[in-house]
Amino acid sequence: MSIIHIQSELEHKSLYRRADFINDYNFEEDTDNQAYFLSFVKSFELTDNDWYNTTVIDLANLLAIKDIHLLRKFASYLNTKIDFLTRLMIIDYLKQTYDLYPPYTIDYKSIIEKEVTRKYNRSIVKINSLAALIHLFPKEKNNYYHLLKKHLNNCNDYRAHTRLYSSINNGVANTLTNREIAELILITKSKPFGNSKAIKESISEL
């Protein structure tokens, strides 16, 4: 696909059309236009379209973009009124790019911990944040794991449970023991949706 066509889609006046293109296009295989993709993501600013916001931030995750200004910008968004899906994508970006930056580039720990204690955050955000903390700071796993079990036990949103097991499958399992994972699964199975197809599929991947 030509760069002119790609630009026309990513810079289209319709944010929904931009998001559709981002979701459909294979950015990783297009090695010729990586510089433009990086420039596009780095120039991103929050819009009033939550779907577009999450799509662009997810693209930053996909491309594993290393840029200190982008990192700080994304982190600053957590202190604004944003959709919970946008929060999830930003936390994912912080977790996935952690090893790309020197220690103490930003205070990852306090930034993500704040998402656990933020009063009006949904359970799915708090659970995802705790999974990220366990992954990034294994020496403090016990405290985070205790909170994780507490929030998971109080959470009746099946999406939070399936997302947790996706996180475990994508790295958190290296920090948790088999016994700890089994304890989390028992909590999930005790829920009304514990035997649903979505839960069974997410657990079967572990």
DSSP 98-143: GGGS-TTSS-HHHHHHHHHH-TT--HHHHHHHHHHHHHH-GGGHHH
Give one DSSP letter per residue of 47-81, joined into a string. -S-HHHHHHHHHHHHHHT---HHHHHHHHHHTTS-
Whether pLDDT at 48 is above 80: yes
Residues 99 and 4 in one domain: yes
User: Both 6 and 56 in a single domain?
Assistant: yes
Model confidence pLDDT, tens digit, residues 11-32: 999 999 999 999 999 999 999 9
- Mean pLDDT over each residue of the chain, to the nearest integer: 95
User: Based on the domain organization, do 98 and 115 belong to the same domain?
Assistant: no
Q: Please say whether the beta carbons of 136 and 95 come within 8 A.
A: yes
135 shares its domain with 65: no
Dist. CA 21–CA 125, nearest whole Å: 27
Q: Which domain holds residue 65?
A: 1-103
Does the predicted model carry a pTM greater than 0.85? Answer: yes
Which of 103, 127, 100 is closest to 115 using CA atoms?
127
pLDDT above 90: residue 198: yes
Q: 81 and 134 share a domain?
A: no
Contact present, 84 and 121 (Cβ < 8 Å): yes
Q: What is the pLDDT of residues 119-174, one digit of tens each?
A: 999 999 999 999 999 999 999 999 999 999 999 999 999 999 999 999 999 888 78
- Amino acid found at 15: L
Asked if residue 128 and residue 143 are part of one domain, the reply reads yes
The residue among 103, 126, 142 that closes a domain is 103
101 CB-near residues (< 8 Å, 6+ apart): 66, 68, 71
- Structural domains counted in the chain: 2
- Residue 1 pLDDT: 86
Shared-domain flag, residues 98 and 1: yes
Please, which pLDDT band fits residue 194 given cuts at 50, 70 and 90?
very high
If asked whether residues 81 and 127 sit together in one domain, one would say no
**DSSP state string for 8-58:** HHHT-S-HHHHHHHHHHS-TTT-GGGHHHHHHHHHT----S-HHHHHHHHH
Q: What is the pLDDT of residue 105?
A: 87
Q: Give the phi and the psi of residue 82 in degrees, each rounded to 5.
A: -125, 160
- Residues 160, 64 share a domain: no
- Which of 70, 103, 136 corresponds to the end of one domain? 103
Q: Which helix (H) or strand (E) holds 172?
A: none
Helix/strand/coil (H/E/C) assignment for every residue in 136-156: HCHHHHHHHHHHHHHHHHHCC
pLDDT, one tens digit per residue, over 56-111 is 999 999 999 999 999 999 999 999 999 999 999 999 999 988 998 887 889 999 99
Same domain assignment for residues 71 and 159 = no
Average pLDDT of the residues in 174-186: 95
Integer Cα distance of 114 and 137 in angstroms: 15
